[in-house]
Chains A and B, each alone.
Chain A
Amino acid sequence: MQANRNDGGWSPYLAGALVGVLAILSAYATTVWLGKTTYLGASTTFVRGAGIIEKQVAPERVEANEYFTKEKVRVDWQFMLVLGIFAGAFIASSTDKSFKLEGVPPVWRERFGPSVGKRAAAAFLGGVVAMFGARMADGCPSGHGLSGMMQLSVSAFAALAMFFGVGIVVAAMVYGRRK
């Protein structure tokens, strides 16, 4: 268990444990300052983001939509958290020189070639399906996988098992060797 690898990365055990500490502090801080215990999550922000974009073209449609009304289209704590993830990753990667512009992931390139269009189409479709599922399940690997598990929620154990179980099968089909 190396704390500092040669590429500037930290041990995943250490970085993960620190996320655990961050989650505890955040649950405490949101309770004290915002009056409501709030746990780490990410996928609801995509609903709000979609609502904000859709509002530009069809505001009355967003207004009338039951789901947008339920999840409240606004820039809230979690929305800023998600923007913060972007900023934090940028700061971490640009200070240890691991920032790299990459148009096609190397593993994808090995299997499907260097076409950006192919990667874009697959990633987009994967994204549509993944988010549809995450909204149905009411959470993603952050909301269920981290926050739900920390609270010992039954739904989190079941959701995480489904995420990984189906992920393993589909990954084997998509990236596994053909024939």
Chain B
Amino acid sequence: MVSTSIAINRTNRSLLFSDRSFRYWLIAPAVLIILLVGLFPIIYSLVVSVQNITMMDQDYSWYGFIWYEDLWIDERFWESLWHTGLITIIALPAELILGLLLARMFLGEMKGKPIFIAILVTPAVICPVVVGAMWRLMFDTRYGPITHILSLFTDKPIEITWVVDPSWVYPVILIAEIWQWFPFMFLILLAALSNVNTDLTDAAAIDGAGFWATFFRISLPAIWPVMFIAILIRALDLVRIFDIVFVITKGGPGTLTETTPLYMYITGFHQFETSYTGAMVFSIIVLLSIIVVLALQRVEISR
């Protein structure tokens, strides 16, 4: 009796859920749209990158890998990578540490917690363009409140042209970026920390472990999988940074704050270097894809 019922169950299951065409009909539209919009640009970039298409020329014949050689020795390109990297390696740890500290402060009882959280999370839902505008206004040399507040503490009037001065322009961009995204880290890490089993941390405390020992030995390993995803999401957003820099400096002064996405935008839409942009786009996509796939495999395996 038992074995027959299992057998029926098994046939049922295969009858119910193994229709080949149905499963492919379900994924077809999504895959089609992703391929159409996602794959076409990559192929297009690859094709034009071995042709000679500039504002002057429209030559569709084989041109070799000259554009890639040019890219390899293009100082402006390497500098843009460096600018992007610089913003990423400062902003990412800053957001992480600020978010973690704040999340730790929010653990446990606190009056007004929901209101505080609602306010703290607001920057993450504001449009990055608006955040850029906001900090440009805050740092305005003449009528910005930051210049004014600082001048209250000094005798001489402050005359820093924040977004033009080479030594101040990065701090302004970084402040805007960190201000917008540390709440994201905070929210994720707060949720993760709240899920850490308090029995474990209590037991450690009873056994005489100090605050930091408890944190590094118990809480941190427990929240690591979530933290890894949060870091990955932010890192990938940071290497694509465009909006905030575009609004605050447009890459200036000169090309001092030009990130790689901004440089691509300029070669493509201001200089109309179609082939060269294609070579740059393709190189960046290959580079990023390798990193992303390696990182995602880790996530997928731990899932």
> Is the pairing of A and B real?
no
